[in-house]
Structure 1
């Protein structure tokens, strides 16, 4: 508030106070105030004006202080609102990112699950194939072992047949050369011929078994994978 307005207010208050006193005196039909009373009235009026100015100054200061406090509160409120909006925006972005990550993870899980299912099917199929190979390998190796034993036995049979045939060869040779014509020598030749046939049969059996074993070995090489 400027000085001219303050002076105007002071003059107005003084005039009102003085006018009130004079009006009261006139109504009561009392004689005019003495100089001493007038001076006292002026002093009271000045005191009232001073108090009024003091109250006005305090009120204006109060208004100024409260206006500053209100402005500070409004500023703080705006700052809080801005901070809250910024935090809200940040949280919304983080939530959006988390949702995106969730969708990505879900897709990854679906793809991974499908791959695992395919791998399980493939492994099951491979295991079944390997089982068949192992079962087949076992059967083939057992057959191979049996044939090897049979071939070995056939070799023994051929050797035995040759040895037995040799036992009758000398007597038969003597009979055929004319040095011996008894019936025993003829029987020896018959036995020798029979032993020779046994040798041929044993050799034929050995050859057949060896051929079968060779074919089986070739089959094993083809059907059984090498480690």
Structure 2
């Protein structure tokens, strides 16, 4: 039996002292009564043995209680250690969770700022797209008009060139009819001439003048178109 166990059970010490005192008392009594009565001595011995057996039984019970108490104490110590470990782990998890929450809040704030910047950028891009579309439409209008002007210019140049070619041919024809008409009017031509030659001359001369007037009109129109195209080119610069 350990000192630690004995100190926790003063009742057992008292019990042992009481039994020991009884044993001593009976021993003294035996000595007094040895000469008087033998059955009384035997009875005392039996009683002492019974008390010794009871003491042994009580001691065994006490030892069992001490052992059980030590086991419970070990279990309590182990449970306390496990509880401390679990508490420390819970505190660590709590701190980690708090850090995660703080990090999540920071990321959420950063995401909010990024979304705001994205909205601003989106609005700017939308504005730029509108401007670009407007500019593109204007440029397309200018291009379409320019194409129309260049088409008219090409057509007018072709008309001028065609009229000039017609004037060249009419000039040659008119000169021929004028020569025969002059011979007819002189009255001494050896060629076969008549008033019809003069009529043809007048007709060709009229056509020539008409084409010349047409050429002047076409050239003026071409000049106006060239001027307009020149102004468009200057405005682009």
Q: Cα distance, 1:45 vs. partner?
A: 1.9
Question: What is the CA–CA distance in structure 2 between the aligned matches of 1:150 and 1:33, rounded to whole Å?
Answer: 168
Structure 1 unpaired stretches of 5+? 21-30
- Output the aligned Cα RMSD: 3.8
Indicate the SS of the match to 1:34.
helix
Q: Cα distance, 1:180 vs. partner?
A: 3.7
Are 2:217 and 1:205 equivalent residues in the alignment?
yes
CA, structure 1 residues 4+75, in 2 after alignment: closer, same or farther (shift >3 Å)?
closer
Are 2:147 and 1:153 equivalent residues in the alignment?
no
Q: Cα distance, 1:86 vs. partner?
A: 0.9
- Residue by residue over 1:171-196, the C-alpha shift from the partner in whole angstroms, topping out at 9 and shown as x without a partner, is 435777x8844795887777676566
Instruction: Name the residue aligned to 1:144.
Output: 150
Residues paired across the two proteins, number: 215
Alignment equivalent of 1:79, drawn from 85, 97, 101 = 85
Contact kept in structure 2, 1:168 and 1:192, CA below 8 Å: yes
- Residue by residue over 1:26-82, the C-alpha shift from the partner in whole angstroms, topping out at 9 and shown as x without a partner, is xxxxx9971111111211121122122222222222221111111111111111111
Contact kept in structure 2, 1:171 and 1:188, CA below 8 Å: yes
Structure 2 unpaired stretches of 5+? 27-36, 188-193
Question: What is the CA–CA distance in structure 2 between the aligned matches of 1:199 and 1:162, rounded to whole Å?
Answer: 10
Alignment equivalent of 1:123, drawn from 98, 119, 129 = 129
**TM-score (normalizing by structure 1):** 0.74
Contact kept in structure 1, 2:160 and 2:218, CA below 8 Å: yes
**TM-score (normalizing by structure 2):** 0.71
Question: What is the CA–CA distance in structure 2 between the aligned matches of 1:70 and 1:33, rounded to whole Å?
Answer: 54
